[in-house]
C-alpha cells in the first residue's frame, strides 16, 4: 500500500489503514440494495472498494 494512503480512526482511537466488511444474505432480504448503498457511500467518500465472490472460499 502506498505511503500516502488515508487512514481512519476507530471508535477507540486506533488507526486502521484497511478494513473488511462482510455482508451475508441474498436478494430476498435486501442484500443487493445494501451492497449498492455501501458501494455508493464508499465511492462518495473517495475510498477504494473491492468485492470478493462468495465462491472464493471465504
Model pLDDT, residue 3:
44
Q: Which helix (H) or strand (E) holds 53?
A: none
Q: Is the pLDDT of residue 10 over 70?
A: no
Task: Name the residue with higher pLDDT: 32 or 54.
Answer: 32
Query: What is the reported pTM?
Result: 0.51
CA 15-21-27 angle, 5° bins: 160
d(CA 27, CA 5): 34
Q: Give the DSSP letter string of 11-53.
A: TTS-EES---------GGGTHHHHHHHHHHHHHHTT-------
Amino acid at each position: 500500500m502506498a505511503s500516502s494512503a488515508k487512514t481512519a480512526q476507530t471508535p477507540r482511537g486506533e488507526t486502521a489503514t484497511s478494513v473488511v466488511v462482510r455482508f451475508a444474505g441474498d436478494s430476498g432480504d435486501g442484500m443487493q440494495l445494501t451492497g449498492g448503498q455501501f458501494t455508493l457511500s464508499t465511492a462518495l467518500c473517495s475510498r477504494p472498494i473491492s468485492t470478493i465472490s462468495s465462491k472464493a472460499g471465504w
